[in-house]
Chains A and B, each alone.
Chain A
Amino acid sequence: MSEPAVTRHSPPDGAPLDSQLAQALDEQRLSDWTEMFTDDALYVILSRENYDRGLPVGLIYCENKRMIHDRAFALMETSMFAPRYLRHIIANQVVVSVESNGTIKSRANYVVLQVLFDRPDATLHQVGVYYDVFRRVGGELKLAERRCVYDNLLVPNALCIPV
């Protein structure tokens, strides 16, 4: 049986992978999260202010999977921050284009809620847009590019877990 091509009913978007990425971050399984990127993946979190003005500075700026790995490793093994729970919520996924080699360009809104242990409220830690590129590597969909562009320009204190 030949591999089904794109069908009308299930466009080949990155939604299932998005959910896996979000779940790995929520559960703070950062090495699993790392494995969902291609080797040459770009991962940048930048403010809408910088993005709109063409300024390249990012809160997190990773040019390849090795840097993503180092980020994950350092956060898990060396970084000091208060324990917290996070929920990554992704919505309004839109496929912008699908190229012939299966590369998908898409975007989605995201919200990260954060709970610290000494307050009753979940605070809106970050809200923004993912500008993504998904690519198949060995038949598996991976994230080749993710620009997280956040709208709340004032980061509440510290961003400890990626978004």
Chain B
Amino acid sequence: MAWQRVASFSEIDVDGVLGVDVNGSPVALYRLSNEVFATSGICTHALALLSDGFVEDGRIECPLHQGQFDVRSGKALCAPVTEDLRTYAVKLEGDDVFIDMERPAASAPAVANAAPNCKAGDGVRNAEEGDQAGTRKIATMNVDPELSLTKRYVWPAEGLTRIPDWVYTDQTIYEREIERIFHGRTWNYVALECEVPKVGDFIRSNVGPTPVVVVRADDGSINVVENRCSHRAAEFCRELSGNVKEFVCPYHQWSYDLQGNLAGVPFRRGVNGKGGMPADFNNAQHGLRRLNVTTHRGVVFASYLDDMESFQNYLGPEVLNEFEATFDGRKPRLLGYYRHTLPGNWKLYHENLKDPYHATLLHTFLVTFGLLVAGNRSLMLADATGRHGVMASAKSERKSVSSDAKKEMRAYRDGMTLAEPRFMDFVEEFDSPWSVTMATIWPNLIIQREMNTLGLRQIIPTGPHEFIMKWTMFGFEGDDEEMTRHRLRQGNLMGPAGFLGLEDNEAIKFVQDGMQHVPGGQHLVKLDPAVAAGTSDSLISEASIRAMYRHWRAEMGL
């Protein structure tokens, strides 16, 4: 961008401020003697127009909370403002004032540090002076600041130990995630093979927010197609699951075979020689959007990219090893679903399972009944890319908890016992040193192996502030009735009413709530500085969260 004429010199009062609107962005122009300076027109503290403020001694005072900035350098001078104003280069040609919004003001002489707090009476006195001045001109302005003004996608200078709130709350960021992550170079969980055992069996599923249908075709292959008619975009498949010979869109009866090929278009040639599709209309070019599909040990994944690496490579050796410890070759058997909404950003769910710190502190149930104590053997694994992770721990026999640990865990109580303790039993069935593993498979899957209650949690984002979680609970073929019932009893731990699950959902909601009304906020993820980002053998660590954001930033170009 180049110089733009924004005002006449004569419009700006000496020691005054003039607000102008430049390409939708409020800009404040100040005149000190014969010099003109320009800054962003919105206070960095709260949403207030600086052109409603007062200029004194080369400072602009915000009308709302009396924060002050140096008009030459934009520097924030006193509470409550802490962030400097953006400045813009200014030049004068005759009576015309030009600014360049891409160039900051030339470095100005340092201004002596002001008193750390403004005098309490300042605002009142200035208001009186302002009234006397009387003639301040304010250009007609758009009081709703443009996005470009308030949204700055700049990662905090501290690096990965801080996560800015806009990562979780911003619509533009969310849309970019759909494009670059869920529709990008990822394998997305969509189903278990046992949900579509026979030809024509289908379930509805999602890749990111996008509805898809997973269907077993005549040749036995599993196909994943967008649930969107190629004619008018209707979401044609409405049942959650079922068996069909073909898919027919109810709107205009376009029909598709089980691989998504367009089979029939009613009145394609029109009626009585009139209407209909153009003569060159080719069904082969108008099938349903088909995704790349892979399966591993009975679990189905889909990708929008056709040139994906193999699923095994995608997981990396360590996470693949944990995947195969849970899916150990036995055939999964469907036990049912939980579905819930969660009013939080989808990444918070990954973070919750890359945050073993919370486990003993939030989930006092675990501590109370000795399932997890701070000293249990555990691992927080991150793959080489940082996108996947496995939180693992080994159940210990209930033993005395050290007094230090008790102090830290607010709900610990000696001697608390369950009336029906068997639901917490662990039946050894896996070739693994861990009794509990939570594998976070980027970007949309959590594999829950909480002792003997097993589930796949599928993240379906619906916006920056909410996602749907679909839990597919399973056992294995060969489970006897008692084992199935044991899994169901133990299922009380998880899901949206689970002793642990409900707490996770509440905590994540609280985090999203906390970001709603605090502009410019950041999260602190500093635990375990010995590990910059990646695998840690300490539970008191956020190194895996940092690893995830290293990956996320690279994928997002931020």
Chain A residues with CB under 8 Å of chain B are 45-47, 49-50, 53, 55-64, 66-67, 69-71, 73-74, 77-82, 153-160
Question: Is B492 a contact partner of A60 (Cβ separation < 8 A)?
Answer: yes
Residue in chain B with minimal CB distance to A81: B506
Q: Which residues of A contact B495 (CB under 8 A)?
A: 59
**Is B335 among interface residues, defined by CB-CB distance under 8 A?**
yes
**Is B63 among interface residues, defined by CB-CB distance under 8 A?**
no
- Which of B340, B488, B502, B509 is within 8 Å of A58, CB to CB? B488
- Which of A46, A78, A157, A159 is within 8 Å of B336, CB to CB? A46
Question: Is B338 a contact partner of A155 (Cβ separation < 8 A)?
Answer: yes
New contact pairs (5) apart from A59-B338, A59-B497, CB-CB < 8 Å: A57-B338, A67-B420, A67-B489, A79-B503, A156-B340
Q: Which 7 pairs from chain A and chain B are nearest by CB? A: A57-B336, A55-B336, A66-B419, A66-B420, A159-B497, A155-B340, A59-B497
Question: Is A156 a contact partner of B506 (Cβ separation < 8 A)?
Answer: no
Q: How far is the CB of B416 from chain A (nearest CB, A)?
A: 8
Within 8 A of A (CB), among B470-500: 473, 484-485, 488-489, 491-492, 495-497, 499
Residue in chain A with minimal CB distance to B513: A118
The residue among A46, A57, A63, A77 with the most chain B CB atoms within 10 A of its own CB is A57
Given contacts A154-B468, A157-B343, contact A78 B419 (CB under 8 A): no
Question: Is A58 a contact partner of B491 (Cβ separation < 8 A)?
Answer: yes
Residue in chain A with minimal CB distance to B417: A70
Q: Which residues of A contact B488 (CB under 8 A)?
A: 56-58, 61
Question: Is A55 a contact partner of B491 (Cβ separation < 8 A)?
Answer: no
Q: How far is the CB of B61 from chain A (nearest CB, A)?
A: 34
Interface window among B72-80, B313-321, B360-368: B360-368
Residue in chain B with minimal CB distance to A62: B492
**Is B501 among interface residues, defined by CB-CB distance under 8 A?**
yes
Given contacts A49-B240, A158-B506, contact A56 B336 (CB under 8 A): yes
Question: Is A155 a contact partner of B339 (Cβ separation < 8 A)?
Answer: yes
Q: How long is the Cα–Cα vector from A71 to B499 in the complex, in angstroms?
A: 8
Given contacts A67-B423, A70-B420, contact A59 B336 (CB under 8 A): no
Q: How long is the Cα–Cα vector from A77 to B495 in the complex, in angstroms?
A: 19
Q: How long is the Cα–Cα vector from A61 to B490 in the complex, in angstroms?
A: 9
Given contacts A80-B503, A157-B496, contact A70 B418 (CB under 8 A): yes
Q: How far is the CB of A139 from chain B (nearest CB, A)?
A: 25
Q: How long is the Cα–Cα vector from A78 to B411 in the complex, in angstroms?
A: 7
Q: How long is the Cα–Cα vector from A49 to B338 in the complex, in angstroms?
A: 9
Question: Is B339 a contact partner of A81 (Cβ separation < 8 A)?
Answer: no
Q: How far is the CB of A2 from chain B (nearest CB, A)?
A: 39
- Which of B492, B502, B509 is within 8 Å of A61, CB to CB? B492
**Is B267 among interface residues, defined by CB-CB distance under 8 A?**
no
Residue in chain B with minimal CB distance to A65: B419
**Is B40 among interface residues, defined by CB-CB distance under 8 A?**
no
Chain B residues with CB under 8 Å of chain A are 240-241, 334-343, 362, 364-365, 368, 411, 418-420, 423, 468, 473, 484-485, 488-489, 491-492, 495-497, 499, 501-503, 505-507, 509-510
Given contacts A78-B368, A157-B342, contact A59 B496 (CB under 8 A): yes
Question: Is A50 a contact partner of B337 (Cβ separation < 8 A)?
Answer: yes
Q: How long is the Cα–Cα vector from A81 to B501 in the complex, in angstroms?
A: 11
Question: Is A82 a contact partner of B506 (Cβ separation < 8 A)?
Answer: yes
Q: Is the interface of A mostly helix, strand, loop or mixed?
A: mixed
Residue in chain B with minimal CB distance to A152: B339
Q: How long is the Cα–Cα vector from A82 to B502 in the complex, in angstroms?
A: 11
Given contacts A49-B240, A58-B491, contact A155 B503 (CB under 8 A): no
Q: How long is the Cα–Cα vector from A58 to B368 in the complex, in angstroms?
A: 24
Q: How long is the Cα–Cα vector from A156 to B492 in the complex, in angstroms?
A: 18
Q: How far is the CB of A108 from chain B (nearest CB, A)?
A: 21
Q: Which residues of A contact B368 (CB under 8 A)?
A: 78
Q: How long is the Cα–Cα vector from A61 to B499 in the complex, in angstroms?
A: 12
- Which of B473, B502, B510 is within 8 Å of A57, CB to CB? B473
Q: Which residues of A contact B505 (CB under 8 A)?
A: 157-158
Q: How far is the CB of A101 from chain B (nearest CB, A)?
A: 27
Residue in chain B with minimal CB distance to A69: B419
Q: How far is the CB of B358 from chain A (nearest CB, A)?
A: 11
Q: How long is the Cα–Cα vector from A158 to B496 in the complex, in angstroms?
A: 5
- Which of B339, B501, B507 is within 8 Å of A153, CB to CB? B339
Question: Is B335 a contact partner of A159 (Cβ separation < 8 A)?
Answer: no
29 A-B interface contacts by CB (under 8 A): A56-B336, A56-B488, A57-B491, A58-B491, A59-B495, A60-B497, A61-B488, A61-B492, A63-B485, A64-B420, A67-B423, A67-B492, A69-B420, A70-B420, A71-B492, A74-B499, A77-B411, A78-B364, A80-B362, A82-B506, A154-B341, A155-B497, A156-B340, A157-B340, A157-B342, A157-B496, A159-B496, A159-B502, A160-B497
Q: How far is the CB of B495 from chain A (nearest CB, A)?
A: 6
- Which of A67, A78, A154, A158 is within 8 Å of B497, CB to CB? A158
Q: How long is the Cα–Cα vector from A63 to B334 in the complex, in angstroms?
A: 20
Q: How far is the CB of A156 from chain B (nearest CB, A)?
A: 6
Question: Is B341 a contact partner of A78 (Cβ separation < 8 A)?
Answer: no
Q: How long is the Cα–Cα vector from A67 to B489 in the complex, in angstroms?
A: 9
Question: Is A81 a contact partner of B502 (Cβ separation < 8 A)?
Answer: yes
Q: How far is the CB of A155 from chain B (nearest CB, A)?
A: 4
Q: Which residues of A contact B335 (CB under 8 A)?
A: 55-57
Q: Which residues of B contact A154 (CB under 8 A)?
A: 339-341, 468
Q: How long is the Cα–Cα vector from A69 to B492 in the complex, in angstroms?
A: 13
Question: Is A70 a contact partner of B340 (Cβ separation < 8 A)?
Answer: no
Question: Is A70 a contact partner of B419 (Cβ separation < 8 A)?
Answer: yes
The residue among B240, B241, B419 with the most chain A CB atoms within 10 A of its own CB is B419
Q: How far is the CB of B499 from chain A (nearest CB, A)?
A: 5
Q: How long is the Cα–Cα vector from A136 to B488 in the complex, in angstroms?
A: 28
Question: Is A55 a contact partner of B337 (Cβ separation < 8 A)?
Answer: yes
- Which of A50, A78, A153 is within 8 Å of B499, CB to CB? A78
Q: Which residues of A contact B418 (CB under 8 A)?
A: 66, 70
Q: How long is the Cα–Cα vector from A73 to B364 in the complex, in angstroms?
A: 13
Question: Is A156 a contact partner of B341 (Cβ separation < 8 A)?
Answer: yes
Q: How long is the Cα–Cα vector from A96 to B477 in the complex, in angstroms?
A: 36
Q: How far is the CB of B455 from chain A (nearest CB, A)?
A: 9
Q: How long is the Cα–Cα vector from A159 to B419 in the complex, in angstroms?
A: 22
Q: Which residues of A contact B497 (CB under 8 A)?
A: 45, 59-60, 155, 158-160
